[in-house]
Structure 1
């Protein structure tokens, strides 16, 4: 066991401004930042990598955390991301040190505006696929669903942004966090020279002791700057048969996946609304009591991943349609990002509203749930609206 595994890894910060202090202290490459409505974490350095081998990922994470704790590390955690594809490599490590603070939404300094990143005068933007080709893929999927091949697929597209200089990732992260401080903001390494950065509205699952919480989203509408129109769109979303059906498919899948782990599982009959700066979403908060308190947060997350909200139904058919339709590899997009401690507690969020940074380039991702009543125009517009979260953070436009 290396000497680094024997060093303390947890430092709580509770003073006013502590959460924004961690946000301001984030540094790409060696830093890992995750903020949720319940806490803010900043991991620094790497004490140990989660191994890449044939053993189940949940077992490898548990074994690493047990080894770190036995070596004397105080409250070790694993942080990072798991990709969409089941055979793609993860990016999970146990940081050398971790600082904790209350949530950003409770920090009064989060209300201060964040400046646009410096040094970026213009972005070159390339849409992959082009909107017309994306619309064709949606139309083809709708035809196949109407013939009975499958019931839903989530199709994504990307924006490839290139700037004259390397982007200012800490400034982007700050803007994302200040734009939606009640959401889930993250920046973690996703591979050699790459950083995954984003602000997701969707909790996949959280575990604290013997309790779990999941918050599936499904069904969306873009926000409006006009208050009356914004309220109208929210009310229409709550009554939309297409979006309510899409949401029900996701909730049913979450219920089916989590029920075997629970003594009781509470699932509200109707969804509510959650909002981000750019979107309205149908939302259901699922809670449950674990039958076996030894089940870890990552085990629960792995049982859920991927939900129909990011893949489709049936899962294997939807994966095949995605591979046929999307001219790019998703990588960490629509995977999960989060943390777990040695007791099994943790939070894992769905990796959406995100980008992967490498050098002078950013690849932004956005997807839409396609069902039999979908139209190419509506789904293309929905992905365009979802791009706004990150475009605003980098000072670019589509």
Structure 2
């Protein structure tokens, strides 16, 4: 029997029970592909950007030799190639099917919040104008600029309830909660979110990526939303922005695949708060046994995509460092898991927040290309905050 057959994920629990069992310090990840809850730390993976796939393969083989059943590596990787990582081999992993019919407590709308924009919207709009100057000079084709909000509540934020509300609001999202506590933190810090964007998944020799770029807010009014979808499908600016991302993802996966299917154009998908242009790319790996072809290896090769960084990458990274006043941390990084057989699933850490006691730090980004309007990008990032603000019961305070 092959190793792949031995370690194929087998759901043995109910998704709702795993969500209810999550506590800060655990690792939770769910999608339409299933639910994973991991506890304890058998070992930590120490590696810098670009070398993690090999280190992960070695850590998984060591864990299997030590008797860890069906070992996985799970965690999050920050946005910047040299940023922090939080990858571990958990001691215990439980699996279930995809979440459905999730119950969750309603958001506590009586919470008192203090909100600090980082930066102020007017300063963010000015950064967009400066980015447009770089694009106009030909230095860049696209750059993604993010802005943040820091919310402080009058009582500690209970992450399990926040996670459950995110899953209930959108069971099809890539929902996650992972401990990212750093030295100096006054309390445990958790990265929590519900991302609409799959960076890459792998099952056997089959890989799937689903880049998103080009967005419009969802209104909740059916007629208005039909109009917004139609505009998004016909928007030269959004279609151009999306094309940058889809082409780069296809180019990277093409280096590892013998077959690659790329749709001719994007479709529109929706979340409870946004509409996105989406391209689902599928491929068949040339060498599934190569650690570089593991789910994490492919994720490393793809990250950061133009959907969260820009084109060209080096110039976009420099512009982001110059124009964004706050370090992104884990925002626009990646979160997920990889098993001993190389299978796994990694999502882009958007629609996410870092929660530490009473403080919630969240970001939203917008792709800046020729034709972008600074005020419209302020509005787009504001709409993207709504996923977390709604789950926190803070939608009206920012």
TM-score by length of 2: 0.93
Aligned to 1:353: 351
Match of 1:382 among 351, 362, 380: 380
When residues 60 and 130 of structure 1 are mapped into structure 2, their CA distance, relative to the original with a 3 A threshold, is same
Matched, 1:161 2:151: yes
- Per mean C-alpha deviation after superposition, the further-off stretch among 177-186 and 81-90 is 81-90
Contact 2:104 2:161 in 1 (8 A): no
Aligned to 1:326: 324
Aligned to 1:338: 336
When residues 116 and 381 of structure 1 are mapped into structure 2, their CA distance, relative to the original with a 3 A threshold, is same
What secondary structure, in the 3-state scheme, does the structure 2 residue paired with 1:186 have?
strand
Aligned to 1:364: 362
Matched, 1:114 2:105: yes
What secondary structure, in the 3-state scheme, does the structure 2 residue paired with 1:301 have?
helix
When residues 11 and 274 of structure 1 are mapped into structure 2, their CA distance, relative to the original with a 3 A threshold, is closer
- CA distance in 2 between partners of 1:74 and 1:336 (Å): 25
Matched, 1:231 2:231: no
Deviation string 1:15-58 (CA, Å, 9 cap, x unpaired) is 6xx101111111002x1100011110000111111124698111
Matched, 1:128 2:124: no
Contact 2:303 2:333 in 1 (8 A): yes
- CA distance in 2 between partners of 1:356 and 1:335 (Å): 13
Deviation string 1:176-211 (CA, Å, 9 cap, x unpaired) is 001110110000011332110000000000011111
Aligned to 1:26: 22
Query: What is the CA distance between 1:293 and its match in structure 2?
Result: 1.2
TM-score by length of 1: 0.93
What secondary structure, in the 3-state scheme, does the structure 2 residue paired with 1:191 have?
coil
Aligned to 2:3: none
- CA distance in 2 between partners of 1:255 and 1:337 (Å): 21
When residues 206 and 122 of structure 1 are mapped into structure 2, their CA distance, relative to the original with a 3 A threshold, is same
Q: Which runs of 5+ in 2 are unaligned?
A: 1-6, 183-187
Cα root mean square deviation, aligned: 1.6
Contact 1:61 1:78 in 2 (8 A): yes
Query: What is the CA distance between 1:390 and its match in structure 2?
Result: 0.3
Contact 1:153 1:369 in 2 (8 A): yes
Contact 1:117 1:171 in 2 (8 A): no
- Per mean C-alpha deviation after superposition, the further-off stretch among 44-53 and 87-96 is 44-53
Match of 2:93 among 81, 88, 98: 98
- CA distance in 2 between partners of 1:333 and 1:298 (Å): 18
Query: What is the CA distance between 1:230 and its match in structure 2?
Result: 1.0
Aligned to 1:6: none
Match of 2:205 among 207, 210, 223: 210
Query: What is the CA distance between 1:359 and its match in structure 2?
Result: 2.1
Q: How many equivalent pairs are there?
A: 382
- CA distance in 2 between partners of 1:355 and 1:113 (Å): 19
Deviation string 1:93-142 (CA, Å, 9 cap, x unpaired) is 111101100001xx3x32x4532249x62111111000000000001110
Contact 2:48 2:82 in 1 (8 A): no
Match of 2:280 among 281, 285, 290: 285
When residues 55 and 377 of structure 1 are mapped into structure 2, their CA distance, relative to the original with a 3 A threshold, is closer
Query: What is the CA distance between 1:236 and its match in structure 2?
Result: 1.1
